[in-house]
Structure 1
Amino acid sequence: MKLYYSAGACSLAPHIVLEESGLPYEAISAPTKTKALPDGSDYRKVNPLGYVPYLTLDDGSGIRECAVIVQYIADQAPEKNLAPANGTRARYALMSWLNFIATEVHKSFAPLFQPGMPDAAKELSKEKIAARLKWVDGELAGKNYLMGPDFSVADAYLFTVTNWAKPMNIDLSLYPNVVAWRERMAARPAVQRAMKAEGLI
């Protein structure tokens, strides 16, 4: 497998999951700004949409979209318990988290990174992020991870997205359960390996 990533982007989530899985893979830098791969070729020849993450499989086919990629990886290493078994109620709970993170949190950050976005629009996005993080904080009360006592791929995705809070001047100290959860996540060896590989720590 080959994971195309851009340092610190949402592709950090599958990077973390690959490290958690123990599966063999190659990580290839595909910076979102330049779209230039290490060999000088245009990343859009691999993924015409031009964004990350993108996972190419050994048969040459590819998978896009973070929430789908992390589930695919988890299913290749079922013994690691990174996702509940397909068809179970717990798996649908995981998919609910992944969809929530993708559509309610991840996408709410997007305007903050958009050049030329009016300040008023950015403030509206920050208000939405704050409301969603307040809800997540409540959901994390009494839990080690989003799904309960054990890490899942949803944690990798939310950790990645909440990494953007500091550079966007969003105060996470208002959400003590989120802060404590982030500390648990940051201490995981797989998280540290993925972040070091991307030059983030």
Structure 2
Amino acid sequence: MKLYYAPGACSLAAHIILNEINVDFDLVRVDLKTHLTEKGVDYYQINPKGYVPALEINPGLILTEIVAILPFLAQHDPKQDLIPPSGFGRAKVLEWLGYLNSELHDAYAVFFQGELDEAAKKKGYAEIDRLFSYIDAAIAKAEHEYLVDDNFGPADAYLFVLTNWSKTIGHDLTPYSNVMALRKKVRQRQSVEIALRDEGLIK
């Protein structure tokens, strides 16, 4: 498999899951400003949508959209604990991925679309805080270690990546102690350490 990524983008979640399932894969860095790969290939020829991630499963067989890629990869887990195979558990994974993608990801995206004045920043922070208030409360009420069950999974990887963006935009996550605790737990995984290092986000 081949993952087209940009450092620190949501593609990082797919990178983490690829490390978890311990398969051979190649990484191809994409410049999202020029839409060229590291070898100068027009990325639009690979993914006409123009954004990452894109997962090349076999030559010419491309899957896009993080909410599709993460479950696809997780189901290849040889230990069978990254995602439930069916039923309510799997539906809960998809529920979290949908929420993170359509709500939290979009709330952060406002800050990456150009300079914001102070009023727009305040409004943007307020929306992110509203969403994290829900997530923090949901984690507090849960009787399991991670978002869906006692096993780390794709929703946890995605949430971790999104929380990284708070530092980039100057947003304070410290009021959300349950989110911070989950984030810390995910950060300690070897798959995360390797992905961060390979994308040049840590040394």
Give your verdict on TM over 0.5: yes
Per the TM alignment, residue 134 of structure 1 is displaced from its structure 2 partner at its CA by: 1.1
Aligned equivalents of 1:146, 1:132: Cα separation in 2: 15
Segments of 5+ residues of structure 1 without an aligned counterpart are none
The alignment partner of 1:30 has SS state of strand
User: For residues 78-157 of structure 1, what are the structure 2 equivalents within 5 Å?
Assistant: 78-86=78-86, 88-141=87-140, 143-157=144-158
Contact 2:16–2:157, Cα closer than 8 Å, also in 1: yes
Query: Is 2:170 the partner of 1:169?
Result: yes
In structure 1, C-alpha distance between the alignment counterparts of 2:41 and 2:108, rounded to whole Å: 29
CA distance in 2: counterparts of 1:119 and 1:112, whole angstroms: 12
Identity of aligned pairs, percent? 38
Amino acid at match of 1:34: T
Is the CA contact 2:20–2:77 (under 8 Å) kept in the aligned structure 1?
no
What is the CA distance between 1:143 and its match in structure 2? 3.9
So what's the TM-score if we normalise by structure 1? Answer: 0.94
Structure 1 residue runs of 4 or more that deviate by more than 6 Å after TM superposition: none
| 2:3 equivalent in structure 1 | 3
Structure 1 CA distance for aligned equivalents of residues 110 and 121 of structure 2: 6
Q: Distance in 2 between matches of 1:116 and 1:89?
A: 42
Q: Larger deviation: 55-64 or 135-144?
A: 135-144
Deviations 1:109-156 (A, max 9, x none): 111111144443332222111011111111112542111321011001
Secondary structure at the aligned position of 1:57 is classed as strand
Q: Helix, strand or coil: the match of 1:173?
A: coil
CA distance in 1, matches of 2:189, 2:116: 36
Distance 1:127 1:11 in 2: 25
Tell me, in whole angstroms, the C-alpha distance in 2 between the residues paired with 1:21 and 1:114. 34
- Gaps spanning 5+ residues in structure 2: where? none
Superposed CA offset, 1:69-91 (max 9, x none):
011111223534211113x1111
Q: How many residues align?
A: 200
**2:139 and 2:178 in contact (8 A); partners too:** yes
Match in the other structure for 1:28: 28
Deviation of residue 30 (structure 1)?
0.7
Counterpart of 1:83, as a letter, is I
- Whether the 8 Å CA contact 2:31–2:38 is kept in 1: the answer is no
User: How far apart in 1 are the matches of 2:58 and 2:200?
Assistant: 26
Under a length normalisation based on structure 2, what TM-score does the superposition of the two structures give? Answer: 0.93
Kindly report which structure 2 residues correspond to 1:173-192, keeping only aligned pairs within 5 A, or say none. Answer: 173-192=174-193
CA distance in structure 1 between the partners assigned to 2:33 and 2:193 by the alignment: 25
Alignment partners' CA distance in 2, 1:163 and 1:54: 21
Q: In angstroms, what is the RMSD of aligned CA positions?
A: 1.4
Cα distance in 2 between the residues matched to 1:76 and 1:184: 23
1:83-109 residue CA offsets vs partner (Å, 9 max, x unmatched):
1113x1111111100000001100111
1:29-108 paired onto structure 2 within 5 Å: 29-86=29-86, 88-108=87-107
The question of whether the paired residues in 2 share the 8 Å contact of 1:137 and 1:175 is answered with: yes
Distance 1:91 1:78 in 2: 17
The letter for the 1-side match of 2:12 is: L
